[in-house]
Chain A
Amino acid sequence: MTSREVLTAIVKDKRCPERMGLHESFWQDTQREWEKQGLPPAVNILDYFNLDVREIQGSLFRTTSIPVDEQVVDEDEQTVIKVNGWGAKFREWKNRPGVPEHLSFDLVHEDVWKKKYRENLLGLDLRRFPDLEKLKENYRAGMVSDRFCVYYQLIIFEIMRKAMGDLILLEAMYLSPRWIHDFCDVVTNNIILNLEYMIREVGKPDGIWLYEDMGYTKAPFVSPALYQEFIFPYHRRVADFIHSYDLPFIMHSCGKIRPLLPHIVEAGVDGLQALEAKAGQHVVEMAEATGNKIAFMGNLDIRAFESNDPKTLEAEIVPKLAAIQKKRIPYVFFSDHSIPKSVNLETYQYALELHKKYGRY
């Protein structure tokens, strides 16, 4: 079976084909580090490791109200300060990954939303697509391959975090519920408008992969009740749209989202990715709780990879794959985090061997 067939079976049809899917993401400095350890220079790392999924580059359209890329407004030796199309300022590292520091937000009140940001999102604006011709080229190249090709994009909770920051957002759910609903309604419609345009003008991919970060190690950012009130209706709307094209909806979320799982399934998510293990989540328990109505991707504890110890890695991977196989859980082999440079190339290659050996149904 090709990558496309395997992933379609797992994520769209929730079946268990001949093998478990295989995919991974890597921090930007990992490849550079691995080149020192013997990885050929400048290879396409996904092709090199024969991973199943391809994100169609250029499909990340601009979701900010003002459709511009982030602008650097200040910098020092190590960090840059950027402002985004919501007027929010963040400090980021220059040459390494990490969570940015929230410096300031313009969108602090419903009045600002209405005066400065809402209207820009009411119609289709082609400035949201930085390079449509390149996107079409990438789409064609992806679809002639046998990989499972996805459009990828941020979705509602993550967009709100970038627009107003965690503190304002989480408080506003209680103190300005009308604003949050209006924001979610307008932004969701805009996401759908742009996805629809992309499908019409560029083409239909194999799936749509949307990024949310709805949890941290201890808990979801919001209670199941707040999820149900503020996020669920918009996830559901996006899911209905994606399903209207007979495509699967894959959602990424870091952190502990187990308490939200029943609602996420009900919203219509087909594949859930990351499943952070150190947040106390286990793919088998989650699959049992959902009756295989959803495919899972991830949950391989990054700390086992970072140990660079084959025995520790085996102890993490082998029993998990055995249980997944036994319970016939639609599953894609994936760490619960992007692979950092502290994981040796040899360690990752050994993980791939374990997938090859134990990752069959």
Chain B
Amino acid sequence: MEDILKQIALCVEKGKIAREFPHPAELAGQDGVYELTQRALESGIAPQEILSQGLIAGMNKVGELFQAGDVFLPDVLVSARALSMGMMHLKPYFHSGAVKHKGKVVIGTVQGDLHDIGKHVVSLFFEGGGWNVIDIGVNVTAKKFLEAVAEHQPQAIGLSALLTTTMVNMELITRMIKTTHPGVKVVIGGAPVTQSFADRIGADCYSPDPQGALEFLNKHCS
């Protein structure tokens, strides 16, 4: 049992989606996450274990490597694609309640900013870490964040900004969330954002990379 979970984790880490994909070269012709997850379920391994010890474990390794600068965005994207193949098999178990997310995160790019790539990558890591991500898009007003928090009741919100001129909008959103939903953690990130800025506006977490934000969620919100 452990072997197949380790194989799933390795395939997520290496971006081995399914047998038919030649990437990566060292795993060409071998089963990928798609086949291995199916086989693990057929052999009776609990879906929650497949998720945590296979899929999430693999993505967590990618996060660590990405944080260290040892892998790059294409590696992350292909790993996330591989992970999604496993998640496809687990979908019915999420619906039935046999598999549970660690919690919910509402994520968006703040008002004044249309940038969506950074947010997308962070979402991939959160999903790969077992979180249910509700992406409310770009150019999101404080009001829309508040409405999303009221509707989805997340444990945390993630705010992204690319520009110095738009990161100031994080302050208003953070203040409003802290006033109306004090239990919801605020996680911020983006090119111009710094720890001192996060401290000044009262955000709970700043991370220069997705893995740091995920670790915060796992530690403080699940």
Contacts and interface: CB of A to CB of B under 8 A. Distances in A.
B74 A173 contact: yes
Interface string A75-99: 0000100000000000111000011
Interface stretch (B37-45, B88-96, B109-117, B151-159): B109-117
A171 to B, nearest CB: 5
B216 interface: no
A91 B114 CA distance: 8
A303 B164 contact: yes
Given A216-B191, A223-B71, A278-B191, A170 B115 contact: no
A98 B163 contact: yes
Nearest to A220: B72
A306 interface: yes
A174 interface: yes
Nearest to B191: A217
B71 A175 contact: no
A174 B77 CA distance: 10
B122 interface: no
B74 A170 contact: yes
Contacts, number: 79
Given A101-B138, A167-B77, A278-B191, A175 B21 contact: yes
Given A171-B77, A175-B21, A175-B23, A219 B117 contact: no
B208 interface: yes
Contacts of B15: 174
Contact of A93 (B114, B118, B208): B114
Band of interface residues on B: 20 to 34
B72 A226 contact: yes
A292 B127 CA distance: 45
Residue of A93, A171, A306, A342 most packed against chain B (CB within 10 A) = A171
A17 interface: no
A306 B113 CA distance: 19
Contacts of B162: 98-99
A221 interface: yes
**A-B complex: 5 closest residue pairs judged by Cβ atoms:** A101-B114, A170-B74, A217-B191, A223-B72, A99-B115
Interface of B: 15, 17, 21, 23-24, 69, 71-75, 77-78, 81, 112-118, 120, 138-139, 162-165, 191-192, 208-209
9 contacts: A98-B113, A99-B114, A102-B116, A167-B120, A170-B77, A174-B23, A218-B208, A222-B73, A342-B164
